Amino acid sequence: MRLGRLPLDEQIEALRDVLSRNTTLTDVLAGAAGLRLPGWYLTAGCVVQTVWNVVTGKPAEDGILDYDLFYFDASDLSWEAEDAVIRAGRERFAAVPATVEIRNEARVHLWYEQKFGVPCPPHDSTESAIDSFAATTCCVGVRTDPDGRWRVYAPHGLSDVFDLVVRPNPVLAPRDVYETKTSRWREQWPELTVLPWP
């Protein structure tokens, strides 16, 4: 049976099983839990691409460019505060054989328009930042609690992730961002079904 057709609780268990095969991802999860960042999630490409790799029979870590670690701290929107967290993360993840990109999602609206050409309203949580990814398929975040329990945020479910369907999410990111990302993804995972921008 295809994983995307399992009941949701079984999909979440399958997701945990699949992600556990990526030791870099599990190392980052463990390190992130130790940083105790408010509202943190490991999210985006490193999560869904691990699933795509396992579903298509590739090594779990294949082709993953970086590991996105989001958190939300509106108490200090200065670059200096975020940079202090980034530096602490660099030290914590020094032994991890991958780039860990740490971002305070409370600050995204301060730089998004300059980078992407469209304004970004301020996010009110890490979840709202995840909601705005260019593809709904990538709107998945995972974290572990101090007791080791996994938490999953997936507002669009997990079926598309397991079924290799990439669906556009035109709420914030411009069309060219979606098309640039999906063009690169198709090269790495030709099995993907990429739905067109509306």
- Tell whether the model's pLDDT for residue 1 goes beyond 60: no
Full-model pTM = 0.92
* C-alpha separations of 53 from 10, 23, 188 in Å: 19, 13, 9
Indicate the pairing of strand 66-71 with strand 99-104.
parallel
**Mean pLDDT in residue range 122-151:** 93
**Mean pLDDT in residue range 176-182:** 94
- Tell whether the model's pLDDT for residue 4 goes beyond 70: no
Phi, psi of 75 (to 5 degrees): -75, -20
State the pLDDT at residue 6: 67
The boundaries of the domain holding residue 28 are 3-194
pLDDT in tens, 61-115: 999 989 999 999 999 999 999 999 999 999 999 999 999 999 999 999 999 989 8
- Tell whether the model's pLDDT for residue 157 goes beyond 80: yes
Which pLDDT band, with edges at 50, 70 and 90, does 152 fall under?
very high
Count structural domains, the chain: 1
